[in-house]
Amino acid sequence: MAIQVCYFLNEENLQREMKGITESMDYFGLNEGLILAYNTDDKYKFDNKTVLVKPVWKWLLEKRLHSYG
């Protein structure tokens, strides 16, 4: 899974951030990507690819819970 981080995801930078993550997904032959943002939770699907957008705090909590699971 390709991972990208941005502070704030909005209409002004969404295209730029999606371009960056999809280029890295294509380069490494990946179908899933993750954008970590301050407080955005969303999901984008296109061309057999999925890009999740999660708040970084939520992602960190999920990782911590899975490590103790």
**pLDDT (average), residues 17-45:** 96
DSSP state of 13: T
Distance CA 10, CA 49 (A): 20
Residue 13 above 70 pLDDT? yes
Residue 67 above 70 pLDDT? no
Query: Smallest Cα–Cα separation from 7: which of 34, 39, 50, 51?
Result: 39
Mean pLDDT, the chain, rounded, equals 92
DSSP-H helix ranges across the chain: 14-28, 56-68
Q: To 5 degrees, how large is the angle CA 20–CA 41–CA 8?
A: 55
Prediction pTM value: 0.86
**pLDDT (average), residues 23-44:** 96
